Amino acid sequence: MSPVELVEEAQEPAEASTFSLADLLAESAAALTARPTRTLLTALGTILGVAALVTTIGLAKTAGNQIISRFDELEATRVLVRPEERQQGRNSVVVNVIPFDAGDRLRRLNGVVAAGTKSDVEIEGLARSVPVVDPLGLNEFQIKVVAASPGLFDAVRATLETGRFFDHGHNDRGDNVVVLGPGAANRLNITRLDNSPAIFIGEQTFAVVGVLRDVEREPDLLNAIIVTDGFARDRLGLLGPGEVHIETDIGATELIGSQAGIALAPDAPDQLRVSLPPSPRGVRSSVQGDIDALFLILGGVSLLVGAIGIANVTLVSVLERTGEIGLRRALGATRMHIASQFLFESATLGALAGLIGTSLGILAVVTVSFFRTWTPVLDPWLPFAAPLAGAFIGLLAGTYPAWKAGATEPVTALRSGT
């Protein structure tokens, strides 16, 4: 052997070790499928974490939409007008500029469905339905009295149990007629109107023309005796209605809110305070924000636990597979090859867990929605982002074990059996 020959031989390039992507995939898949039960259990934490996350995000979205649709129906068509309180010196003074024909004025505005006035009034004395005073039985009650214009019944969406609402005629004449809320009727023992019952409040006598079944707004009407504005004006000295309730078309509240003040008090619209429902967009974001924040934290915590689970088991499996690592190094694997295989295994595990978790989560959202008769609402990015998040978790969890596997010295590794 001449030195020249040796040098020539030495020029021959050494074949670098390779680990193709196809092999990486195949080796990782083989390792994951070698013990399917264990793989599944390892992934369980992440599966539950992702499922919790997807469920909570999905349910928050779904529930948020349901809440808003309820707001839409009742709240988003309601406008309330009250006199503005003003500071005069040390006292707050209310100058009432609401006219008694407020309901009629507002009805003329485009977008108003119904409008009526409501005022708390006081009549001296207790209410009773029988003219005699029974010393044994309790038949006199302190019952709230409310004065209303006929338009109020539509504006609060009242329904009748029996009888009728009082009308403009009653109101204009200031007749002694009342409509009873169901609570008040019950206490006064009035269940039917065919015998033309009357009630007494102090010295005043009233004919009962109707009994309410329910109202959708202003539930205090349910326990009240409702007299006409006209009666309150003529006989009780009511100077002006306390508040105006307006039901608008959907989407008309902003418009009516800007017009109501001028329609009611053209000379002093600034003395009225108009309450509008919260803007739907605001409601949506605030409700959803609350729910999301809470549930996202919960989901995040479960994901963290899942990640720790993967890291833990992967680390154990690195120790268990020390012999295999040694063998692979002997067969020509570099540190990088070993590390990338373990990293890819844990990332794949995370992605699979994410996929399963997403499926379970969506299933849970759909199931809950089915039983609550909700429409399930999912962000379209969610089913794609969740498995990616799982893969990321797996990648993160596998980093240390993979580094550990790569750093295992082949000499030491081969000493341990397979």
Partner 1 sequence: MKTPVVELAGVRRIFEGTPPVVALDEANLTINQGDYLAIVGPSGSGKSTLLHLLGLLDTPSEGVYRLDGIDTAELGERDRAGLRANRLGFVFQSFHLLGHRTNVENVMLAEVYRKGSKSERRTRAIAALERVGLGHRLDAFPTTLSGGERQRVAIARALVGEPSLLLADEPTGNLDSVTSEQILDLFDQLHHGGLTLAVITHDSDVSLRAERTVRIQDGVLSEATVVPTGDSP
Query: Which residues in this chain contact partner 1 in the complex, by CB under 8 A?
Result: 1, 5-6, 9-10, 12, 14-20, 22-23, 27, 30, 34-35, 323-324, 326-335, 337, 410-411, 414, 417-418
CB of residue 318 to partner 1, shortest distance in Å = 15
Q: Which is nearer to partner 1, 174 or 323 (CB)?
A: 323
CB 97 within 8 A of CB 268: yes
CB of residue 316 to partner 1, shortest distance in Å = 17
CB of residue 48 to partner 1, shortest distance in Å = 27
Cα dist from 340 to 315, 343, 348, 405, whole Å: 14, 5, 12, 9
Q: Which residue has the tokens 């399963």?
A: 356
Q: Which is nearer to partner 1, 61 or 337 (CB)?
A: 337
Q: Which residue has the tokens 């409501």?
A: 118
CB of residue 343 to partner 1, shortest distance in Å = 17
Q: Which residue has the tokens 């969890």?
A: 397
Backbone dihedral region of 251: left (phi > 0), alpha (psi from -120 to 50 degrees) or beta?
Answer: left
Q: Which is nearer to partner 1, 133 or 331 (CB)?
A: 331
In DSSP terms, 121 is beta-bridged to 145
Q: DSSP label at 75?
A: G
Beta strand ranges found along 149-296 (DSSP E): 159-163, 177-180, 198-201, 204-214, 225-228, 243-248, 272-275
Q: DSSP label at 141?
A: B
Report helix, strand or coil for 78: strand
CB of residue 67 to partner 1, shortest distance in Å = 52
Q: Which is nearer to partner 1, 276 or 327 (CB)?
A: 327
Q: Which is nearer to partner 1, 177 or 405 (CB)?
A: 405
Q: Which is nearer to partner 1, 6 or 301 (CB)?
A: 6
CB of residue 362 to partner 1, shortest distance in Å = 33
CB of residue 34 to partner 1, shortest distance in Å = 4
Longest dimension (CA), the chain: 139
Cα dist from 195 to 190, 356, 357, whole Å: 10, 69, 67
Q: Which residue has the tokens 């508040």?
A: 243
Q: Which is nearer to partner 1, 23 or 134 (CB)?
A: 23
Q: Which is nearer to partner 1, 189 or 418 (CB)?
A: 418
CB of residue 44 to partner 1, shortest distance in Å = 21
CB 307 within 8 A of CB 42: no
Report helix, strand or coil for 228: strand
Report helix, strand or coil for 235: helix
* Cβ atoms < 10 Å from Cβ of 72: 15
